[in-house]
Amino acid sequence: MSEQNKPEVLKMELEALSKNEEFARVAVVVFMARLNPTLEEVDDVKTAVSEAVTNAVIHGYRGEGGIIYLEVAVIDQEISITIRDTGVGIPDVKQAMEPMYTTDPDGERSGMGFSFMEAFMDQVEVLSAPGEGTAVTMKKKISG
């Protein structure tokens, strides 16, 4: 087995506080630097992570706090990121992923979070169950 095929992994547990949104996206892009991403790829991943972590803070934990589990693995120029919460879960994932769909009554939220994750990453998978939480796994090939 060559070194290349062994995944390198970052695991973190973060409190679901809005101030950790920036910390999470910066930590992931610093970790991905080993893949020599382009600036655009860095921005893509940064934005996708920001969306998923913000969802966990606002929706998963309803702004009341909890733990966000962040796991990043890189193997053969691919980055795989999982952001998981044990919050309220999403009753209808398909509906939640529709562009402009939002549950926010104030209208301050654009409803574009999942659309951005899908636009900026190659693959987005959402597993969720009401009362159990949500896990978002996103993958992207990095040109290097």
Partner 1 sequence: MNQPHFTYEAEGHTLIVHLPEELDHHNCSGLKYETDLILSENYIKRILFDFSKTRFMDSSGLGILLNRYKQMALSGGTVAIYGAGAQALRILKMGGILKLMKLYDSKEAAVTG
Positions marked catalytic:
51, 55, 109
Does 68 participate in binding partner 1 (rule CB under 8 A)? no
For the chain, state the CA radius of gyration.
15
Beta strands in the chain (DSSP E): 8-15, 67-75, 78-85, 123-129, 133-141
Stated as kind and residue range, the H or E segment containing 49 is helix 39-55
Stretch that binds partner 1, among 1-9, 15-23, 74-82, 131-139 (CB under 8 A): 15-23
30 by DSSP, 3-state: which? Answer: helix
Stretch that binds partner 1, among 8-16, 39-47, 70-78, 82-90 (CB under 8 A): 39-47
Does 13 participate in binding partner 1 (rule CB under 8 A)? no
Nearer to partner 1, 109 or 139 (CB): 109
Stretch that binds partner 1, among 4-12, 71-79, 104-112, 135-143 (CB under 8 A): 104-112
32 by DSSP, 3-state: which? Answer: helix
* Distance from C-alpha of 117 to C-alpha of 138, rounded to nearest angstrom: 8
Residues 123/111, Cβ–Cβ less than 8 Å: no
Q: How far is the CB of 74 from partner 1 (least distance, A)?
A: 22
Binding site for partner 1 (CB under 8 A): 18-19, 21-22, 25, 39, 43, 46-47, 50-51, 54, 57-58, 104, 106-113, 115-116, 119
